[in-house]
Amino acid sequence: MANTLLDTVWDLHTVRRLPNGETQLFIGLHLVHEVTSPQAFQMLAERGLRVRYPERTFATVDHIIPTDQQQRPYADGMAEQMFAAIEENVRANDLPFFDRSTGRQGIVHVIGPELGLTQPGMTIACGDSHTSTHGAFGAVAFGIGTSQVRDVLATQCMSVAKPKLRRIEVNGRLSAGVFAKDVILHIIGSLGVQGGVGYAYEYGGTVLDAMSMDERMTICNMSIEGGARVGYVNPDATTEAYIEGREYAPAADDFQRAAAWWRSLASGPGASYDDVVVMDGADIAPMVTWGINPGQVTGVDDVVPSPEALDGPDRAASEEALEHMSLEPGRAIAGIPIDVAFVGSCTNARLSDLHEAARVARGGRVADGVKALVVPGSQRIRAEAEAAGLHEIFREAGFEWREAGCSMCLAMNPDKLQGDQICASSSNRNFKGRQGSPTGRTLLMSPAMVAAAALAGEVADVRQMVAS
């Protein structure tokens, strides 16, 4: 029986089985950001330990960094303190640090791949649940908590149970106006927000095969929203082409050997899975969430579902969601008015995402009363977008063009919803309060759909806007 990529990578990185039955797993790449690391460095110092593999540990700043005014010291004293902490910690431990002065700063899950740090066959950890993003390259990548960040800093290992494996195959073709974001929202809507607990997800099928690395990253990014801590795509020629020539990619002399090894890792045709789910890409419409978790989602041409169709706790959950969202069951998703439009986050702030949003925004005008912002995922993406003139398209249409960071994906920097504003957002979480106001409301959708909503002032079907 052929092995899966998960089996092969897991075995290769297994140091030993711990007495409690978990695996002591070696972590090939550890990414660090300002928010979940200060306590970990503190715990390390308290035990008199140092970073064990500084050359496999890379740091950046993304969550708390303001994306409008970036002069130091920051007006926000707590942000300033958090920056001072990471600067001191990387200095004391000799860690490579991609801060703004390097031109390589950005959202940790955007810059890892962009710099070529993220490669197939690696185990990767980061104190952030969207570490699953890196699985797009055929890496096994985990989001971890702060105590585990400490463990990985101190030992380059973590204690972890091997997950079961579910293959999710999306075949056929996507319609125009349907993007990777819609595919993953569709998957989460079908399997539920806890359907993946205890599983890793292996994504495949003709739709995934045809996807760019940017698109595969969007899919893997939101694995955790479906409950799966790990999600990956088997490496192929697309993966190799993306990595080749990047700063931390294998050197030219090594590249062919590296690529041959990467290809050998892919799950074989005869591999066995704990579960297999097959979906048809043609069934997927542009998706929009109507509730307070990413599984509460439907097609833009659909209506807000009625809780009465559900029973028990699911019914209570959807009643709570509709109350928070102030949405009536049965109302059309298209036409829900919005106050804010946010293109950004580790899910959808890569160059191709900005291109798709710009294609919709070009020549249009953000609706009166709507605040619209575009926040590139990294300094490099920002520069590339500017070289392509995207910033002009956005600005002319009335979008703010920001510096790189997490921005309005979460409420740790100045970009926040006010009161009960509704935000069309290309990010990954529509939890209550996620975007900074306890009563704020989030509608998750693709970047093209966000741009369409910004122009229309309400949720709009991007398929009609690009067709016309």
Partner 1 sequence: MSEGAVIDRIVGRGVPVRGNDIDTDRIIPARYLREITFEGLGPHAFEDDRRALNGAHPLDDPRFADAGVMVVNKNFGCGSSREHAPQALLRRGIRAIVGESFAEIFFGNCVAIGLPCLTTTPEHADALQALLEEAPDTDLTVDVEAERVVTDHGDYPAAVPASAKASFLTGRWDALGQLLENTDEVRATSARLPYLTGFGGESS
Subset of residues 322 to 381 that bind partner 1, contact rule: CB under 8 A = none
Site for partner 1 in 164-193 (CB under 8 A): 193
**CB-based burial of residue 212 (10 Å sphere; 0-12 exposed, 13-18 middle, 19+ buried)?**
middle
Minimum distance from residue 462 beta carbon to partner 1 (Å): 27
Minimum distance from residue 13 beta carbon to ligand SF4 (Å): 24
Of partner 1, ligand SF4, none, which one sits near residue 62, judging by CB under 5 to 8 A according to partner kind?
ligand SF4
Site string for partner 1, 90-119 (x = CB under 8 A): -----------------------------x
User: Degrees (nearest 5) of the Cα angle 81, 86, 88?
Assistant: 90
Minimum distance from residue 382 beta carbon to ligand SF4 (Å): 15
CB nearer to ligand SF4: give 130 or 324: 130
Of ligand SF4, partner 1, none, which one sits near residue 127, judging by CB under 5 to 8 A according to partner kind?
partner 1
Residues binding ligand SF4 (CB under 6 A): 62-63, 107, 109, 128, 130, 345-346, 406, 409-410, 427-428
CB nearer to partner 1: give 145 or 268: 145
Minimum distance from residue 220 beta carbon to ligand SF4 (Å): 12
Q: Is 235 in the site for partner 1 (CB under 8 A)?
A: no
Site for partner 1 in 392-411 (CB under 8 A): 410-411
CB nearer to partner 1: give 20 or 101: 20
Of ligand SF4, partner 1, none, which one sits near residue 346, judging by CB under 5 to 8 A according to partner kind?
ligand SF4
Site for partner 1 in 429-448 (CB under 8 A): 429, 431-434, 436, 438-439
CA nearest to 333, candidates 431, 445, 440, 451: 445
- Measure Cα distances from 62 to 111, 137, 180, 317, 352 in Å: 10, 22, 23, 32, 20
Q: Which stretches does DSSP call E strand in 199-281?
A: 199-204, 230-233, 275-280
* Tokens (6 digits) for 456: 């229309």
For 112-144, letters b (16+ CB in 10 Å) and e give bbbbbbbbbbbbbbbbbbbbbbbbbbbbbbbbb
Cβ(135)–Cβ(230) below 8 Å: yes
Q: Which of 1, 16, 69, 269 binds partner 1 (CB under 8 A)?
A: 16
Cβ(328)–Cβ(416) below 8 Å: no
Q: Is 305 in the site for partner 1 (CB under 8 A)?
A: no
CB nearer to ligand SF4: give 204 or 294: 294
Q: Is 268 in the site for partner 1 (CB under 8 A)?
A: no
Q: Is 197 in the site for partner 1 (CB under 8 A)?
A: yes
Of partner 1, ligand SF4, none, which one sits near residue 71, judging by CB under 5 to 8 A according to partner kind?
none
Of ligand SF4, partner 1, none, which one sits near residue 345, judging by CB under 5 to 8 A according to partner kind?
ligand SF4
Q: Using DSSP, how many helices (H) and how many strands (E) does the chain show? A: 16, 19
* Tokens (6 digits) for 440: 């704020």
Minimum distance from residue 107 beta carbon to ligand SF4 (Å): 5
Query: What is the C-alpha separation between 213 and 351, in angstroms, rounded?
Result: 11
Q: Which of 283, 320, 392, 420 binds partner 1 (CB under 8 A)?
A: 320
Sequence-distant (≥ 6) Cβ neighbours of residue 61 within 8 angstroms: 33, 34, 83, 86, 99, 100, 105, 405
Measured in whole angstroms, the distance separating CA 128 from the mean position of its chain's CA atoms is 10
Site for partner 1 in 53-72 (CB under 8 A): 53, 56, 63-64
The residue type of 145 is G
Of ligand SF4, partner 1, none, which one sits near residue 423, judging by CB under 5 to 8 A according to partner kind?
none
DSSP structure string for 141-187? EEE--HHHHHHHHHHSEEEEPPPEEEEEEEES-PPTT--HHHHHHHH
Q: Is 412 in the site for partner 1 (CB under 8 A)?
A: yes
CB nearer to partner 1: give 248 or 273: 248
Q: Segment contacting partner 1 (CB under 8 A): 67-75, 171-179, 248-256, 330-338?
A: 248-256
Of ligand SF4, partner 1, none, which one sits near residue 214, judging by CB under 5 to 8 A according to partner kind?
none
Query: What is the C-alpha separation between 442 and 226, in angstroms, rounded?
Result: 18
Q: Is 420 in the site for partner 1 (CB under 8 A)?
A: no
Query: What is the C-alpha separation between 413 and 406, in angstroms, rounded?
Result: 8
Of ligand SF4, partner 1, none, which one sits near residue 22, judging by CB under 5 to 8 A according to partner kind?
partner 1
CA nearest to 423, candidates 362, 358, 345, 346: 345
Peptide bond into 73 cis (omega under 30): yes
CB nearer to ligand SF4: give 10 or 58: 58
Q: How many residues does the chain have?
A: 468
